[in-house]
Structure 1
Amino acid sequence: MAVEIRFTAASVAKVRFAISPLGETVLALRILLGTGGHAVHRPWVRQARPLLARERELPLLRALISGRLPSFLFPAPRQRLPSLATELELVRATPEDFFRHEYGAVLGTPAERAPEPATVLPRLVEALHRGHEQLIAPQWGRMRAVLEADLGRRALTLVEGGVQALFAELHRDIAWDGGQLVVHGRRTPHSVCTVDAGEHGLVLLPSVFNWPNVGVDKAPVTAASIRYPAVGVGLLWELPQPALTGLAPVLGRTRTQILAALAEPLTTAALATRLNITPSAVSQHLGALRGADLVATERNGRTALHLRTERAAHLLGGSASENDRLSAYSLMCRGEYE
């Protein structure tokens, strides 16, 4: 289905960018439930799918995410990078009539037969929170880096070429046509859905898990929104491999993999998930690597972030200044997850 997003002069001035942890969580769950997803995500899917199998609200997630996605799962972010908690509160506050309409449309039932929002939304919010913590949070540092880099590139295009140049490079299915943005559908190109950007404008969201496609919210409550594929996703799941062959016989395969993964700051739990070993085993290996001055750890309350040191970076052929990012990253996470 083709989607036309109509603008006024005022709404063109309100085109902005944002990153959505909730949107990425929903789209990731959709892939794990077997709907869509590109082959580029297979390394992540192999690790994540067994974790989702233990989710107690799996039937609810299948019902609402496997097919047509309800708009109330994608509230337009009000900030450039909202916290997951902020976005989940917007889902929890979904107006009753809108919830019933979207629920009925997804399940193919009359809106009046939809359950009370109070019986569904709290369970759904908790399931999405668990899904994010288990499946997205361990990878969020890498994902965020890709998404932030894309925002920087798009912002430069907007400054240099204006709105028309920005839309021209977003995706081959997006076209700016005389004050109207057209997103061409692939299945039914002759049917058209119209979305009014209105007084709230348009939010552009780079996406990892919607890659390589474009997604449009066809029933926005506030701002219209488009999710477009972020540049750089193709390399996201490739673990760094420098010098692994030479170091593995000396340090052991697992410790070498830990050092490779710690090109970015990670928690013990994130390392355990990424390497598919137990947190206690990770802790033991980290202790040995700290003793050899190959890993640095910074604690913030109950959270500990680990990063390889300059010595480890040299062994792996990386930058000697990698450990300088640990304190900055800790502060960043502190603000994001409060």
Structure 2
Amino acid sequence: MAVQIRFTAASVARVRFALSPLGETVLALRVLLGAGGHEVHRAWTRAARPLLADEPELPLLRSLIAGPMPSFLFPVPTERLPTVAAELDLLRATDEDFYRREYGAVLNAPAREAPDPGVLLPRLAGALRRCHDRLIAPHWGRMSALLEADVARRALTLVDGGTQALFAELHPDIAWDGGQLVVHGRRAPRTVHTVDTAGHGLVLLPSVFNWPNAGVDKAPVAAASIRYPAVGVGLLWEPPPPTLTGLAPVLGRARTEILAALGEPLSTAALAARLGITPSAVSQHLGALRGASLVSTQRKGRTALHLRTERADHLLGTAPEP
């Protein structure tokens, strides 16, 4: 199925980005339940699957996540960096009629037969909170740094090329066509589903666990939303390079890892994603390293690229022999 997202002038002006720890929790569960995911997540899956063994609501989660998923599991964030608690509050506050329609559609049952939302939604929220704390929270620092770095990259594209350029590079299945956004399915579309933003706008959510696919909410309550794969997910679960034990106590672990990574030119955002720290922290460390003549920075358009200096190579023991 292809999905067409229709825009008005007002809704184009309300395109924004957000992160969603709740959305990543639901998608991570989908990977663990064998209904999605990719080889890139194998290392995480192997470590995470045993953490679900004693989850009492696993049958409920499986019933809602293993197949087509209801939209109420993915409330659209109202801010750029919401907490999982804030998103779970949105889930608990799901409109009853909307909940019943979505529940019935997923389980192929009459909407009136859906369990009481006043009972089921709090149960579901509690289960998702426990899953978030076990599966996502321990990695959220690295994940959020990668996702924020992706947003920073897309923001530069938006500034340089406008909305059309932004959509053109989001995902191969996403295309801007005459004032509407088309998200193509993996199979030849037999039907086309239309989503009208109705002036509410569109929220773009970079994702780790939806990788490598693009997903669109087909039943938005207000703003439409697209989850697209963030750049750099392939590096997320790789073990960090071994810290150079002799240098780390002097420079600090973060600065040592930055120098180790800068054997190739990298942007601040790319460094943040690779090391799992925020771009602002990377900038501070780079400033100190430049002051010591260990890093050089060159601007290329709107992007600053960093590279360690020959002096740093000698310090790390990576300088070529004369």
TM-score, structure 2 normalization:
0.78
> Gapped runs of 5+ residues in structure 1?
248-292, 295-307, 330-338
Equivalences for residues 191-206 of structure 1 within 5 A: 191-206=191-206
Q: Structure 1 residues 31 and 309 mapped into 2: Cα distance closer, same or farther (>3 Å)?
A: farther
**1:247-276 Cα distance to aligned partner (Å, 9 max, x none):** 7xxxxxxxxxxxxxxxxxxxxxxxxxxxxx
Task: Report if aligned partners of 2:211, 2:229 keep a CA contact under 8 Å in 1.
Answer: yes
Partner of 1:164: 164
User: 1:206 is aligned with what amino acid?
Assistant: P
> Gapped runs of 5+ residues in structure 2?
260-271, 282-322
Partner of 2:8: 8
Partner of 1:225: 225
Tell me the SS of whatever aligns to 2:238. coil
Partner of 1:149: 149
Determine the C-alpha separation between the residues in 2 that align with 1:188 and 1:138: 39
Q: Tell me whether 1:318 sits opposite 2:263 in the alignment.
A: no
Determine the C-alpha separation between the residues in 2 that align with 1:28 and 1:4: 26
CA shift for structure 1 position 188: 4.6
Partner of 1:189: 189
Moved >2 Å (runs of 4+): 241-244, 308-314, 316-320
Task: Report if aligned partners of 2:73, 2:91 keep a CA contact under 8 Å in 1.
Answer: yes
User: 2:180 is aligned with what amino acid?
Assistant: Q
CA shift for structure 1 position 241: 2.7
CA shift for structure 1 position 319: 4.4
Partner of 1:250: none
**1:154-199 Cα distance to aligned partner (Å, 9 max, x none):** 0000001000000000011000011100001123513100000112
**1:271-311 Cα distance to aligned partner (Å, 9 max, x none):** xxxxxxxxxxxxxxxxxxxxxx99xxxxxxxxxxxxx8546
Determine the C-alpha separation between the residues in 2 that align with 1:90 and 1:106: 20
CA shift for structure 1 position 118: 1.1
Tell me the SS of whatever aligns to 2:199. helix
Determine the C-alpha separation between the residues in 2 that align with 1:44 and 1:24: 13
Partner of 1:77: 77
User: 2:257 is aligned with what amino acid?
Assistant: G
User: 1:45 is aligned with what amino acid?
Assistant: T
Partner of 1:86: 86
Determine the C-alpha separation between the residues in 2 that align with 1:319 and 1:76: 35
The root-mean-square deviation of aligned C-alpha atoms, in Å, is 2.4
Determine the C-alpha separation between the residues in 1 that align with 2:146 and 2:158: 19
Q: Tell me whether 1:113 sits opposite 2:113 in the alignment.
A: yes
Tell me the SS of whatever aligns to 2:178. coil
TM-score, structure 1 normalization:
0.74
Task: Report if aligned partners of 2:6, 2:180 keep a CA contact under 8 Å in 1.
Answer: yes
Q: Tell me whether 1:213 sits opposite 2:213 in the alignment.
A: yes
Determine the C-alpha separation between the residues in 2 that align with 1:318 and 1:45: 26
CA shift for structure 1 position 89: 0.4
**1:10-61 Cα distance to aligned partner (Å, 9 max, x none):** 1100000000011000000111111110000000000000001111110100
